[in-house]
C-alpha cells in the first residue's frame, strides 16, 4: 500500500443540522499507522465528523477521503478497510454473544478467531449469553471485539471506554489497542474520539482539539508536550502580572503563580526570574492538561 | 441459509406469526366475517412491511448495519427479498385457506392486493416517517387517499361514464390501478431514501401537529406555573400526537366525502362503501394506535424508567395516563365520528349504517379495542408490537370461544333459577317488550359485563405498569385471565341476545 496516502483526509468539512453548524470548516489529516486522538467538548462535532467518515451522515460541504477513496461513492470499499465502534452500541436482542460475532464476521473477508477467543476470555464474556442481557459496558466490550477481530487498516472508535470499569479500561487501552497496532506497525491506524484523554496518553501519536465544529489545535503529541509547559513559581509577595503572548493560562493562588505556556518557554521563564521568585519549576503537560488549557 | 438472511427472517418473526397463523386460525372460529378476515390479513402484511426496516430503527441497530462493508443497494435487496419471500409464503397459506373453506377467489385477489401494496409501500413509509407504527398506519391511508381520490374525481368529472360501468370495473380502474401505481412509485422513492439515509442521534421523527396541542397547553398553564399533574397531562397529550394527526386526517377525509356528495346529488352503486371508507379505516386503526401509544411509546423512546423515577407516585402517573387515554379515546373514537356523521353526512343524506344502534355498538367496540391495546402496551416494548399482540389477543379470544360453550349453559341454569324465584314479576318486567324495559336490561347487562371486564383489564394494566417488568409466569397468567374475561363477556352478550330473541324481544 502506498504509505503516502493518508488514512483520513478531511478538508473544510461542514455539516449543518437545520441552522446549527455541527461542523464548520474542519480539516485534519491522519497518516497511516498512527494513533490519532480526536478531542473536544460535548457537542463539539466529534461524532458528526466520525459519522461523515463512514457515510452515516452526508457533509453539507467539504471533502472526505479515507485511504484516498470517497466514502459516499466507494462506500463498501472504504468500509472493508474500516471498523467502527459507535458511542451508543446496540445489538439484535435475540442474538447471543457468539451469534452477534458470527453475524458481524459474515460481513468480513478476514476474521481472527484466535484474537476473538483471547479477547472473550480477557473481557470475561460468556459466548452463550444473550446480548439483551449484557450491561452497557459489556456491549461496548463486545463491539470492541467485533471491531478488532477483522484486523482492519483503520479502527474508528467513538468513546470506546464509555461504560468500561477502570480495570478493563486500562487493560483495553494499553494491551488491546496497543497490541492491535503492534500487530502490523505502520499499517494499522487508530482514530479515537474520547473524553478520557489521560487514559490514552501513552498511545496517542497525534491529536486534534475541536470546538464548535472547528479545529482549535492539531499537533503531534511529542511536539505538543514540548510546546506546552507549565511553570509553577512562588513569590515572597504577590505574583507579578505578565502579558506575554506565550501565556495560555494563568492562575494565582496567594503567593503562588501557575502559568501554562506555549512556545518560547525561555522568554517567559526569564521574565519570571526577573521578579525573583522564591522557587520556580517547569514541567511538561499531559495531553489532558493541554486540552483543558486550550479550551479554557 | 446465510446468517444475514436468517437475521432478516428472525427480525420479521413476530409479525410473520401474526400475519401467517392468526387469520388462518380465525377462519376456524366461524366468528369472523369476510371483511374482518381481509382486515386481519392486511394488518399482518402491514406489520411485516413495517418491521422490515422498522426493526433496525426501533432497536438502534441501523448504524451497526450501515457501517458494515456492504453496499446499501445490497442491503436493500436482501431486506426486500426476504420480505417478498415471507409475504409470498404467507399469501400462499391464505390462498390455501380460501380453497379449503371454499371462499371466493376474489377474496384471494384482494389479499394479494393487500400484500403487494404493503410490500411496496410499508418499507418506504418506514424510512420516510422513521416510526414503525406510523408507517403501518399511513400506508393504508395513503393508498386509500389515492384510490378514493381518483375515483371521487373521476366520478365528478365523468359521472355518466362511471355510472355506465359496473361496480367491479369501477373498483379496478379507478381505485386499484391508481393505488398500485402509487405504491410502485413509493417503493422506488423508498430505495432512493435508503441510499441517502443518515444516522442522526434521534432517528424517530415527530409525526403529529404540535399546534393542535396549543390550546391544551394554554389551558393547563393559564393559572400559573405548571403543576406536576398538568405537566404529566400535557406530556400524555403529546404522546398522542400521532392520534391527533390521524383525527385531523379523518376529518379531512369526511369533509372530502361530504364535498363529493354535495357535488353529486344522485348516489350510485358503491357510493355507500365509498363514503363509509373513512369511518371504517379510522375505527379500525385509531383504537389500536390510541391504546398502543401511552406506555409502549415511552418504553420505545427509552424514557419510561426515567419518568417512573420522578417524584409523583407510579400509581398517580398511571392514573393520569389512563384518564388522558380514555378522554382522547372518547373524543376521537366517539364524539368526533358521531359529530362528523351528524354534522356532515346526515344533512347530505349520505348512506351509512342501518340504524343508530349499530353506530353506538361500533363506538363501544372501538373503546373496547382501545382498552385491550392499552393493556397490551403495558407488556410490549414498541408500539407496533403492541398492535400485533393486540390482534393476536383478539384471535385468542375467538379461539377460546369454542372451548367455553358451557358458559351459556351455566347462564341458562341461572336464568331458570331466577325464573323460579319470587322476583319473577320483576324479571318479566325487565325483559318485557316495552322499549324502556329492553333498553334498561340491555344497558344493565352490557354495562356490567363491559364495565367488569374493562376494570379487570385496566387493573392488570396498572399492575404491569407499576411493576415495569412483571414476572413471566404472571404475564402468562394474565393472558389467560384476559382472554377468558373477554371471552366470557362476548359469550354472555351472545347468550343474552339469544335469550331476548327467545322471548321475541325486538331491538329498538
Contact call for A107 and B3, based on CB within 8 A: no
Q: Best of B5, B63, B380 to disrupt the A interface by mutation (most A CBs within 10 Å)? A: B63
How high is the pLDDT of residue B115?
92
How high is the pLDDT of residue B204?
45
Rounded-to-integer distance, Cα B87 and Cα B30, Å: 25
Polymer length of chain A: 296
**What are A283's strand-pairing partners?**
A230
Long-range pairs of B297-302 with CB within 8 A, sequence gap ≥ 24: B297/B239, B297/B377, B297/B383, B298/B239, B299/B380, B299/B381, B299/B382, B300/B58, B300/B381, B300/B382, B300/B383, B301/B204
Residues of A within an 8 Å Cβ radius of B:
17, 47, 51, 54-58, 75-82, 84, 86, 88-95, 102-104, 106-108
From first CA to last CA, the distance across chain A in angstroms is 41
Rounded-to-integer distance, Cα B492 and Cα B485, Å: 10
Q: Do A136 and A278 fall within a single domain?
A: no
A169 domain-assigned? yes
A208 domain-assigned? yes
* H or E element, residue B305: helix B304-308
How high is the pLDDT of residue A82?
92
Angle, alpha carbons A95-A97-A99 (nearest 5°):
50
Total structural domains in chain A?
2
Residues on chain B touching A103 (C-beta within 8 angstroms) = 3-4, 7
Q: Do A130 and A238 fall within a single domain?
A: no
How high is the pLDDT of residue B507?
46
Contact call for B198 and A80, based on CB within 8 A: no
Q: Mean pLDDT of all residues in chain A?
A: 88
Q: Which of A169, A190, A212 is the last residue of a domain?
A: A212
**A291 in Cβ contact with A218 (< 8 Å):** no
Report the pLDDT averaged over residues A81-89: 89
Rounded-to-integer distance, Cα B49 and Cα B80, Å: 9
Residues on chain B touching A95 (C-beta within 8 angstroms) = 7
Report the pLDDT averaged over residues A237-258: 85
Q: How far is B197 from chain A (nearest CA, A)?
A: 8
- Edge-to-edge order in the sheet of strand A8-17: A20-30, A8-17, A61-66
Q: Do A95 and A193 fall within a single domain?
A: yes
User: What's the CATH code of the domain at A256?
Assistant: 3.30.70
A235 domain-assigned? yes
Q: Do A204 and A230 fall within a single domain?
A: no
User: What's the CATH code of the domain at A81?
Assistant: 3.40.50.300
Q: Do A263 and A193 fall within a single domain?
A: no
How high is the pLDDT of residue B426?
52
**For residue B214, what are the contacts with CB-CB under 8 A and spacing of at least 6?**
none
pLDDT-derived band of residue A21, with 50, 70 and 90 as boundaries?
confident
- What is the extent of the structural domain holding A237? 225-295
Q: Best of A76, A144, A151 to disrupt the B interface by mutation (most B CBs within 10 Å)? A: A76
A16 domain-assigned? yes
**For residue A2, what are the contacts with CB-CB under 8 A and spacing of at least 6?**
none
SS (H, E, C) B166-182: CHHHHHHHHHHHHHHHH
- Closest Cα in chain B to A58: B198
pLDDT-derived band of residue A246, with 50, 70 and 90 as boundaries?
confident
Rounded-to-integer distance, Cα A136 and Cα A124, Å: 14
Q: Best of B65, B68, B78, B197 to disrupt the A interface by mutation (most A CBs within 10 Å)? A: B68
How high is the pLDDT of residue B411?
53
Q: How far is B57 from chain A (nearest CA, A)?
A: 11
The answer to whether residue A154 scores a pLDDT higher than 80 is: yes
- Closest Cα in chain B to A82: B69
Contact call for B68 and A104, based on CB within 8 A: yes
Strands (E), A20-101: 20-30, 35-40, 61-66, 82-85
Q: Do A110 and A193 fall within a single domain?
A: yes
DSSP string, A129-195: SBGGG--HHHHHHHHHHHHHTT--SEEEEESTTTT--HHHHHHIIIIIIHHHHHTSTTT-EEEEE-S
How high is the pLDDT of residue B467?
79
Cell of residue A152, nine digits: 482492519
**What are A253's strand-pairing partners?**
A256
Neighbours of A281 (CB within 10 A): 10
Block mean pLDDT (10 aa), chain B, length 508: 87 87 67 64 89 87 89 93 94 87 80 91 89 86 83 78 69 78 92 87 48 56 62 83 86 84 64 73 88 88 77 84 93 90 82 69 84 90 87 72 53 51 52 58 66 84 81 79 75 65 53
Q: Do A269 and A152 fall within a single domain?
A: no
Residue A25: DSSP 8-state = E
Residue B2: DSSP 8-state = -
Rounded-to-integer distance, Cα A51 and Cα A72, Å: 12
How high is the pLDDT of residue B421?
46
A2 domain-assigned? no
Q: Do A200 and A239 fall within a single domain?
A: no
Q: How far is A54 from chain B (nearest CA, A)?
A: 7
- Edge-to-edge order in the sheet of strand A35-40: A82-85, A154-158, A189-193, A35-40, A206-211, A214-220
How high is the pLDDT of residue A127?
94
Residues of B within an 8 Å Cβ radius of A:
2-4, 7, 10-11, 59-61, 63-64, 66-72, 74, 196, 198-201
Residues on chain A touching B10 (C-beta within 8 angstroms) = 92, 94
**B7 in Cβ contact with B376 (< 8 Å):** no
Q: How far is B380 from chain A (nearest CA, A)?
A: 14
How high is the pLDDT of residue B423?
47
Contact call for B196 and A79, based on CB within 8 A: no
CA distances from B310 to B304, B307, B468 (A): 10, 5, 14
Cell of residue A83, nine digits: 471498523
Polymer length of chain B: 508
**Where are the domains positioned within chain B?**
1-207
Q: Do A279 and A152 fall within a single domain?
A: no
Contact call for B198 and A57, based on CB within 8 A: yes
With CA atoms as reference, report the closest residue to B143 among B240, B53, B42, B44. Answer: B42
Nearest residue, CB atoms, A88 vs list B3, B60, B69: B60
Rounded-to-integer distance, Cα B275 and Cα B348, Å: 12
Q: Do A116 and A260 fall within a single domain?
A: no
Q: Do A167 and A260 fall within a single domain?
A: no
Residues on chain A touching B61 (C-beta within 8 angstroms) = 90-92
Q: Do A250 and A205 fall within a single domain?
A: no
Nearest residue, CB atoms, B67 vs list A47, A79, A88: A79
Amino acid at each position: 500500500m502506498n504509505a503516502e496516502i493518508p488514512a483520513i483526509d478531511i478538508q473544510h468539512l461542514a455539516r449543518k443540522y437545520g441552522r446549527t453548524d455541527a461542523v464548520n470548516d474542519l480539516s485534519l489529516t491522519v497518516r497511516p499507522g498512527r494513533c490519532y486522538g480526536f478531542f473536544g467538548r460535548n457537542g463539539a462535532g466529534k461524532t458528526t465528523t466520525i459519522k461523515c467518515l463512514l457515510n452515516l451522515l452526508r457533509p453539507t460541504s467539504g471533502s472526505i477521503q479515507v485511504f484516498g477513496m470517497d466514502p459516499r461513492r466507494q462506500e463498501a470499499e472504504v468500509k472493508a478497510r474500516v471498523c467502527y465502534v459507535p458511542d451508543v452500541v446496540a445489538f439484535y436482542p435475540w442474538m447471543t454473544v457468539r451469534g452477534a460475532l458470527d453475524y458481524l464476521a459474515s460481513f468480513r473477508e478476514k476474521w481472527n478467531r484466535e484474537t476473538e477467543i483471547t479477547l472473550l476470555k480477557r473481557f470475561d464474556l460468556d459466548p452463550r449469553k444473550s446480548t439483551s442481557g449484557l450491561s452497557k459496558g459489556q456491549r461496548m466490550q463486545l463491539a470492541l471485539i467485533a471491531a478488532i477481530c477483522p484486523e482492519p487498516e483503520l479502527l474508528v472508535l467513538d468513546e470506546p471506554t464509555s461504560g468500561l470499569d477502570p480495570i478493563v479500561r486500562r487493560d483495553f487501552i494499553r494491551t488491546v489497542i496497543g497490541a492491535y497496532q503492534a500487530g502490523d506497525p505502520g499499517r494499522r491506524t487508530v482514530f479515537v474520539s474520547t473524553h478520557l484523554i489521560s487514559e490514552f496518553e501513552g498511545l496517542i501519536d497525534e491529536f486534534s482539539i475541536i470546538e464548535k465544529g472547528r479545529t482549535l489545535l492539531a499537533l503531534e503529541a511529542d511536539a505538543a508536550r514540548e510546546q506546552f509547559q507549565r511553570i509553577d513559581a512562588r513569590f515572597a509577595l504577590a505574583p507579578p502580572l505578565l502579558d506575554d503572548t506565550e501565556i495560555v493560562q494563568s492562575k494565582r493562588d496567594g503567593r503562588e503563580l501557575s502559568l501554562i505556556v506555549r512556545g518560547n518557554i525561555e522568554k517567559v521563564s526569564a521574565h519570571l526570574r526577573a521578579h525573583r521568585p522564591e522557587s520556580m519549576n517547569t514541567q511538561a503537560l499531559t495531553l489532558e492538561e493541554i486540552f483543558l488549557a486550550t479550551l479554557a | 441459509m446465510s446468517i444475514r438472511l436468517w437475521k432478516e427472517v428472525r427480525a420479521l418473526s413476530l409479525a410473520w406469526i401474526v400475519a401467517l397463523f392468526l387469520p388462518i386460525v380465525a377462519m376456524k372460529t366461524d366468528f369472523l366475517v369476510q371483511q374482518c378476515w381481509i382486515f386481519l390479513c392486511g394488518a399482518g402484511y402491514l406489520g411485516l412491511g413495517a418491521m422490515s426496516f422498522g426493526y433496525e430503527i426501533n432497536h438502534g441497530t441501523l448504524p451497526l448495519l450501515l457501517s458494515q462493508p456492504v453496499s446499501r443497494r445490497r442491503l436493500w435487496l436482501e431486506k426486500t427479498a426476504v420480505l417478498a419471500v415471507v409475504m409470498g409464503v404467507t399469501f400462499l397459506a391464505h390462498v390455501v385457506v380460501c380453497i379449503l373453506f371454499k371462499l371466493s377467489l376474489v377474496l384471494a385477489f384482494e389479499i394479494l392486493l393487500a400484500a403487494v401494496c404493503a410490500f411496496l409501500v410499508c418499507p418506504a413509509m418506514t424510512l420516510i416517517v422513521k416510526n414503525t407504527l406510523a408507517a403501518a398506519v399511513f400506508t393504508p391511508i395513503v393508498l386509500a387517499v389515492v384510490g378514493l381520490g381518483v375515483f371521487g374525481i373521476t366520478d365528478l368529472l365523468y359521472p355518466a361514464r362511471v355510472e355506465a360501468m359496473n361496480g367491479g370495473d369501477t373498483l379496478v380502474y379507478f381505485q386499484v390501478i391508481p393505488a398500485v401505481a402509487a405504491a410502485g412509485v413509493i417503493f422506488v422513492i423508498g430505495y432512493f431514501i435508503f441510499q441517502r439515509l443518515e444516522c442522526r442521534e434521534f432517528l424517530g421523527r415527530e409525526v403529529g401537529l404540535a399546534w393542535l396541542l396549543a390550546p391544551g397547553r394554554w389551558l393547563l398553564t393559564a393559572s400559573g406555573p405548571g403543576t406536576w399533574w398538568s405537566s404529566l397531562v400535557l406530556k400524555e397529550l403529546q404522546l398522542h400526537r400521532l392520534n391527533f394527526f390521524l383525527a385531523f386526517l379523518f376529518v379531512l377525509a369526511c369533509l372530502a366525502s361530504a364535498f363529493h356528495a354535495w357535488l353529486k346529488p344522485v348516489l350510485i352503486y358503491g357510493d355507500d362503501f365509498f363514503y363509509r371508507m373513512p369511518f371504517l379505516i379510522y375505527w379500525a386503526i385509531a383504537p389500536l394506535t390510541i391504546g398502543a401509544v401511552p406506555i409502549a411509546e415511552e418504553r420505545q423512546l427509552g424514557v419510561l424508567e426515567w419518568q417512573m423515577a420522578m417524584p409523583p407516585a407510579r400509581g398517580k402517573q398511571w392514573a393520569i395516563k389512563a384518564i388522558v387515554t380514555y378522554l382522547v379515546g372518547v373524543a376521537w373514537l366517539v364524539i368526533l365520528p358521531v359529530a362528523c356523521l351528524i354534522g356532515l353526512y346526515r344533512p347530505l343524506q349520505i348512506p351509512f349504517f342501518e340504524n343508530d344502534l349499530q353506530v353506538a355498538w361500533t363506538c363501544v367496540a372501538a373503546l373496547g379495542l382501545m382498552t385491550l391495546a392499552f393493556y397490551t402496551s403495558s407488556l410490549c416494548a414498541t408500539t407496533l408490537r403492541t398492535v400485533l399482540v393486540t390482534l393476536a389477543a383478539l384471535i385468542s379470544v375467538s379461539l377460546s370461544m369454542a372451548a367455553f360453550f358451557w358458559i351459556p349453559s351455566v347462564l341458562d341454569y341461572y336464568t331458570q333459577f331466577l325464573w323460579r324465584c319470587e322476583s319473577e314479576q320483576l324479571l318479566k318486567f325487565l325483559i318485557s317488550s316495552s322499549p324502556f324495559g329492553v333498553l334498561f336490561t340491555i344497558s344493565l347487562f352490557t354495562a356490567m359485563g363491559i364495565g367488569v371486564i374493562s376494570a379487570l383489564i385496566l387493573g392488570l394494566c396498572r399492575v404491569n405498569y407499576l411493576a415495569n417488568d412483571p414476572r413471566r409466569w404472571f404475564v402468562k397468567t394474565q393472558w389467560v385471565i384476559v382472554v377468558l374475561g373477554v371471552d366470557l363477556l362476548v359469550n354472555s352478550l351472545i347468550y343474552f341476545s339469544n335469550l331476548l330473541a327467545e322471548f321475541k324481544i325486538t331491538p329498538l
